[in-house]
């Protein structure tokens, strides 16, 4: 694509496009479809004015980007973070399309965000922000159009406010408008844990391929929010020692192993939910977190954390991408050459959207599954996807990321062709 577009000022969007260009060559993607898939189907940018607790009015900027509606409703999280911009949300929406394709879910990809710092806002301010944003995007969301879920900085309470605001507009309770809701409002048991659980299912498959056991393995995790904390917990339950953890405020390390349950209690008691100051580990500079020697490194925070500047210093056997887009294409090449087993984001963190799909199906059918049913089905779908990607990687001698993207992009492209190219 030669013309400059609205999204290209974002390095994250340029990275998603680079990946698409690379995989387009691998799967011999028709040029017209490739250039369509570089762009989202539609994007909404809105002012979100709210009254702060001080009485002043502040205007935030909100985004909802729908990358593809070809395979069904578009699906993806809503992110509250200071750096959110249109390009970042567009990249995340594109990755959602490939993720849903890899998992064979009947969805296109979408993502939303509001540029704000939820840590500094009161519950009332976040509620007003969420309700006003929902009003602003009403015309482009719906249970068959676009279904939101939690992402960085949002949670089940955020989804409850969206559900309530939407239901008041349409005049009936409509739980299928969002997933990741509180269980008592039609949320799915196991959704909160689903992304981290999915990450650990993938890690265990990779360990077994490398003839390693969880017990003899160690892990380092960047991010201790939804994805990072559940990943730590699940790894620890399987006997893997967590050596170091980092968050937005700092990093900690204990080479004899961190007590994950105690760390979770400590972080939960902190207003910022931070791990900094945890007495069972020592503080380390952030730069040392990712380069701590370990079996498995799990970035579970932000995009573009592993770059050409630090990739060569990583000392892990497996890179399990809990976060979306944590590794740049330049870093990918360095890690591939070093023989690191990469479990790419669009596969590794797909457990979240998979259980979101279970939640949506339950809400539409008005029946509830047990936690055992949810977890068994999640495991079955994650393992099947892992081995589909692995098989293609081996057959075609592709890096895992290219194999995963090939499956995801191909599914969307095929559906476009069957429907008549550009629906």
Ligand X SMILES: O=C(O)CCC(=O)C(=O)O
Ligand Y SMILES: NC(=O)C1=CN([C@@H]2O[C@H](COP(=O)(O)OP(=O)(O)OC[C@H]3O[C@@H](n4cnc5c(N)ncnc54)[C@H](O)[C@@H]3O)[C@@H](O)[C@H]2O)C=CC1
Q: Which stretch binds ligand Y (CB under 6 A): 140-148, 150-158, 362-370, 400-408?
A: 150-158
CB 379 within 8 A of CB 204: no
Query: Of the two residues 186 and 223, which places its CB atom closer to ligand Y in the complex?
Result: 223
Select from ligand X, ligand Y, none the partner in contact with residue 76, using the beta carbon and a kind-dependent cut-off of 5 to 8 Å. ligand X
What per-residue string of b and e applies to 138-176 under the rule 16 or more CB within 10 Å gives b?
eeebebeebbbbbbbbbbbebbbbbbbbbeeeeeeebbb
Residues annotated catalytic, as ranges? 111
Residue nearest to ligand Y (CB): 225
- Kindly identify the residues of this chain, within the stretch 233-252, that bind ligand Y according to CB under 6 A: 246-248
Nearest-approach distance from CB 210 to ligand X, in angstroms: 26
Query: Of the two residues 29 and 78, which places its CB atom closer to ligand Y in the complex?
Result: 78
The reply on whether position 65 binds ligand X by CB under 6 A is no
Nearest-approach distance from CB 349 to ligand X, in angstroms: 6
- Kindly identify the residues of this chain, within the stretch 88-147, that bind ligand X according to CB under 6 A: 96, 99
CB 293 within 8 A of CB 250: no
- Kindly identify the residues of this chain, within the stretch 179-198, that bind ligand Y according to CB under 6 A: 195
Query: Of the two residues 29 and 351, which places its CB atom closer to ligand Y in the complex?
Result: 351
Three-class DSSP category at 181: coil
Residue 75 is assigned to a ligand binding site: yes
Is residue 269 exposed (0-12), middle (13-18) or buried (19+ Cβ within 10 Å)?
Answer: exposed
The reply on whether position 150 binds ligand Y by CB under 6 A is yes
Q: Which stretch binds ligand X (CB under 6 A): 58-66, 115-123, 199-207, 351-359?
A: 351-359
Query: Of the two residues 331 and 346, which places its CB atom closer to ligand X in the complex?
Result: 346
- Site for ligand Y (CB under 6 A): how many residues? 23
The reply on whether position 151 binds ligand X by CB under 6 A is yes
CA gap 85, 266 in Å, rounded: 32
Going from the C-alpha of 158 to that of each of 78, 116, 179, 359, 378, the distances in angstroms are: 9, 14, 11, 16, 24
Strand partners, 75: 109, 147
Q: Which helix (H) or strand (E) holds 383?
A: helix 371-396
- Kindly identify the residues of this chain, within the stretch 297-326, that bind ligand Y according to CB under 6 A: 300-302, 322-324
Query: Of the two residues 165 and 229, which places its CB atom closer to ligand Y in the complex?
Result: 229
Residue 208 is assigned to a ligand binding site: no
Residue 195 is assigned to a ligand binding site: yes
Residue 226 is assigned to a ligand binding site: yes
The reply on whether position 226 binds ligand Y by CB under 6 A is yes
Residue 99 is assigned to a ligand binding site: yes
**Which residues, including other chains, have CB under 8 Å from residue 139's CB and lie 6 or more apart?**
none
CB 232 within 8 A of CB 266: no
The reply on whether position 231 binds ligand Y by CB under 6 A is no
DSSP string computed for 62-79: EEEEE---TTSSEEEEEE
CA gap 350, 405 in Å, rounded: 13
- Kindly identify the residues of this chain, within the stretch 164-203, that bind ligand X according to CB under 6 A: 179-180
CB 75 within 8 A of CB 149: yes
DSSP string computed for 326-369: -B-HHHHHHHHHTT-EEE-HHHHTTHHHHHHHHHHHHHHHT---
Q: Which helix (H) or strand (E) holds 57?
A: strand 57-66
- Kindly identify the residues of this chain, within the stretch 309-338, that bind ligand X according to CB under 6 A: 324
**Residues lying near ligand Y in the complex (CB under 6 A):** 150-153, 195, 222-228, 246-248, 300-302, 322-324, 349, 352
| Contacts to ligand X by CB under 6 A | 75-77, 96, 99, 149, 151, 179-180, 324, 349, 352-353, 356
């Amino acid at each position: 694509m030669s013309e400059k577009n609205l999204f290209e000022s974002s390095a994250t969007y340029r990275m998603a496009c680079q990946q698409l260009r690379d995989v387009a060559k691998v799967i011999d993607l028709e040029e017209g479809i490739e250039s369509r898939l570089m762009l989202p189907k539609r994007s909404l940018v809105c002012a979100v004015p709210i009254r702060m607790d001080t009485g002043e009015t502040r205007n935030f900027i909100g985004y909802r980007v729908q990358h593809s509606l070809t395979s069904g409703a578009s699906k993806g999280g809503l992110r509250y973070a200071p750096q959110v911009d249109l390009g970042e949300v567009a990249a995340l929406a594109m990755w959602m399309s490939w993720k849903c394709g890899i998992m064979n879910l009947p969805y296109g990809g979408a993502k939303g965000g509001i540029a704000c710092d939820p840590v500094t806002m009161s519950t009332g301010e976040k509620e007003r922000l969420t309700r006003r944003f929902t009003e602003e995007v009403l015309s482009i969301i719906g249970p068959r159009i676009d279904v939101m879920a939690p992402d960085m900085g949002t949670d089940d309470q955020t989804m409850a406010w969206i559900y309530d605001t939407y239901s008041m507009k349409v005049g009936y309770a409509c739980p299928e408008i969002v997933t990741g809701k509180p269980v008592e409002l039609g949320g799915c048991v196991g959704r909160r844990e689903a992304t981290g659980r999915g990450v650990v299912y993938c890690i265990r498959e990779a360990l077994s391929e490398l003839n390693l056991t969880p017990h003899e393995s160690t892990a380092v995790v960047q991010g201790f929010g939804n994805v990072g904390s559940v990943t730590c917990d699940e790894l620890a339950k399987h006997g893997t020692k967590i050596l170091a953890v980092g968050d937005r405020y700092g990093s900690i390390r204990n080479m004899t192993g961190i007590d994950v349950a105690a760390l979770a209690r400590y972080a939960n008691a902190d207003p910022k939910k931070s791990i900094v100051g945890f007495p069972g580990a020592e503080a380390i500079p952030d730069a040392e977190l990712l380069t701590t020697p370990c079996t498995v490194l799990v970035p579970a925070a932000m995009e573009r954390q592993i770059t050409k500047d630090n990739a060569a210093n990583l000392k892990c056997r497996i890179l399990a991408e809990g976060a979306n887009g944590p590794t740049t294409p330049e870093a990918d090449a360095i890690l591939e050459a070093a023989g690191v087993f990469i479990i790419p984001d669009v596969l590794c963190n797909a457990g979240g959207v998979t259980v979101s799909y279970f939640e949506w199906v339950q809400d539409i059918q008005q029946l509830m599954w047990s936690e055992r049913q949810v977890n068994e089905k999640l495991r079955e779908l994650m393992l099947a996807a892992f081995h589909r990607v692995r098989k293609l990687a081996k057959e075609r001698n592709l890096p895992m990321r290219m194999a995963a993207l090939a499956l995801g992009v191909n599914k969307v492209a095929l559906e476009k062709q069957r429907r008549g190219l550009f629906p």
